[in-house]
Amino acid sequence: MRALLAFTTRYTAYGSALFLAAMMVLTVIDVGLRATLNLPITGAYDLVQLCLVGTVFLSIPDVFMREDNIVIDLIDHVFGPRTVGALRVIACALAFIFLAVLCWRMFAPAFDAIAFNEVSPDLSISMAVHWTLMILGIAIALPVAAFMLIESILRMLAGTR
């Protein structure tokens, strides 16, 4: 199961990296054209917005899989492995619950965006594309968070970090 999740999250991270690269290239070219030729790229804001959504939400599953979430190791040095393991289980459980609620609460505004045909201001990119990337990223992160929760429970029971 770990191999399948790692494979999936690796490719979402590649997608995230592509969106990041596209966003950087587009921004540099837009700023360069605006500064040198006073010729900005029409719709650059819309494209950067879409790339930002792809970058952020497609990176979330890989962050969970590699356990690269932001943590503060303040308590790790004070308490033993059992306490740290229990805190890790609590954190993983809260993360899973948060992702599940987030995913569930995203559907109503996504359906509203589709129903009202919401589009971006300049290029008229359907907001459904944005919502699809957001929901996809969170939906892929959910089984990863569940897997990490199970792993953290097993680690806690085994007494390892």
Q: Would you give per-residue pLDDT tens digits along the chain (161 residues)?
A: 999 999 999 999 999 999 999 999 999 999 999 999 999 999 999 999 999 999 999 999 999 999 998 888 888 888 888 888 999 999 999 999 999 999 999 999 999 999 999 999 999 999 999 999 999 999 999 999 999 999 999 999 987 76
Burial of 65 (0-12, 13-18, 19+ CB in 10 A): buried
Contact partners, residue 49, CB within 8 Å, separation at least 6: 120, 130
Residue 41's pLDDT is 96
CA end-to-end span of the chain: 20
Residue 79's pLDDT is 87
φ, ψ (nearest 5 deg) of residue 120: -70, 155
Residue 161's pLDDT is 63
Residue 71's pLDDT is 83
φ, ψ (nearest 5 deg) of residue 126: -60, 135
The two structure tokens encoding residue 108? 């109503």
